Amino acid sequence: MSLPLETADADRNSSLAAVVDEAITSALTEKRLVGTVVLVARDGEIVHSRAAGLADRESGLPMREDTIFRLASITKPIVTIAAMRLVEQGRIGLDDAVTRWLPDFRPRLPDGSEATIRIRQLLTHTSGLSYSFFEEDGSYARAGVSDGLDEPGLPLAENLRRIASAPLRFAPGSDWQYSVAMDVLGGVIEAETGVPLGEVVTDLVTKPLGLADTAFSVRDRSRLAAAYMNASPEPVLMGETALVMSLMGPIRFAPNRIFDPASYHSGGAGMAGTAGDVLAILETIRRGGAPLLSIETVGMMMTDQASGHRQQHEPGSGFGFGWSVITNPAEAGVPFPKGTLKWGGVYGHSWFIDPVNGLTVVALTNTTLEGMWGKFTVDLREAIYASL
């Protein structure tokens, strides 16, 4: 005799909670993480949530579900949604040249020839731009390019000038390279609207969803998690500046950047927010976009838009607008089904949307880099799919 549907769902959720908690507890016990907030939603209902560990180890502040985190690249999907709202309004065209709004932004190819970068190439990281931590030739470092994580007080116009002074990695549209493209798109949005990027994101994304804690500033510093980086025997608190060596290269941080109102609003890395707010934004996409976007626009965003170009560090994945798209789960070596969306944030975050199973998972931590691509992220996803 089969169990009633409600009982079967309860058992499944209980099993999921147990294995997720085991992954969290293991990471904390082994001192790979200082603290985390994990939310798991199935078909729009939060079936498990846990705030664990410490938001601030030195002051003994416990992690809470409403803890605010520096979001780093979780900023990207949020700004992408704002940009796509402007596309739907006819104010920005995907095939428009960036110089329509930023006439002085004219980075050249290595041979000195001109190139035209289009909006869709910014959204898909096929523009030929890069990040300074990827640069083998050091051109971004020599130009003083900020990746949106450092240099408090740096104006957007100055960083755009620095980016444009460095050569493109390749002709726009001919390859894929993760980059400062979303910072450039932020400049386009500001030029089109005439207001700071943060105001646009508030008006077009967070306010319509009733979200108050996610912005380019921190309204309640008492809820902001401290920032830590991987170390042994336990993570180390970041100072005013920090240099973290990663598989991508050296990444420079300035955790206090978000407190300086003169810091440009980095469309790729500049926001702070809560796990609950991030879940609400991602769930809006999983459900089809309302009240922010049409289902047709979201469908386009959720498919590979990078012309088949491969991500160097993400095999089996393409790139939509705002996130990676799993195109070949076997090649990617992940339990996600084809069409799963995923990305993260270098301050220690990961998330995914699995439309096939109706899952949206947000895992924010205060530990770089473990919380973005360490053992914790693997343990968490394996635990979730083992419970399905």
**Cα–Cα distance measured from residue 316 to residue 327, given in angstroms and rounded to the nearest whole number:** 6
Crossing angle of helices 181-193 and 75-88, in 10° steps, is 40
Q: What are phi and psi of 98, to 5 degrees?
A: -60, -30
**Cα–Cα distance measured from residue 116 to residue 17, given in angstroms and rounded to the nearest whole number:** 50
Tell me, what amino acid is at 367? Answer: T
Residue 137: partners with Cβ closer than 8 Å, 6 or more residues away: none
Please say whether the beta carbons of 80 and 322 come within 8 A. yes
**Cα–Cα distance measured from residue 384 to residue 20, given in angstroms and rounded to the nearest whole number:** 7
Q: Using alpha carbons, list the distances in angstroms from residue 355 to 205, 285, 307, 339, 345.
A: 21, 10, 22, 7, 21
**Cα–Cα distance measured from residue 229 to residue 134, given in angstroms and rounded to the nearest whole number:** 19
Buried residues in 338-352 as b, exposed as e (16+ CB within 10 A):
ebbbbbbbbbbbbbb
DSSP 8-class letter at 61: E
Catalytic residue among 14, 15, 49, 73: 73
Please say whether the beta carbons of 114 and 108 come within 8 A. yes
Q: Are strands 341-345 and 349-354 parallel, antiparallel or unpaired?
A: antiparallel
DSSP 8-class letter at 195: S
Identify the residue whose tokens are 């008492």. 222
324 is catalytic: no
Active site members: 73
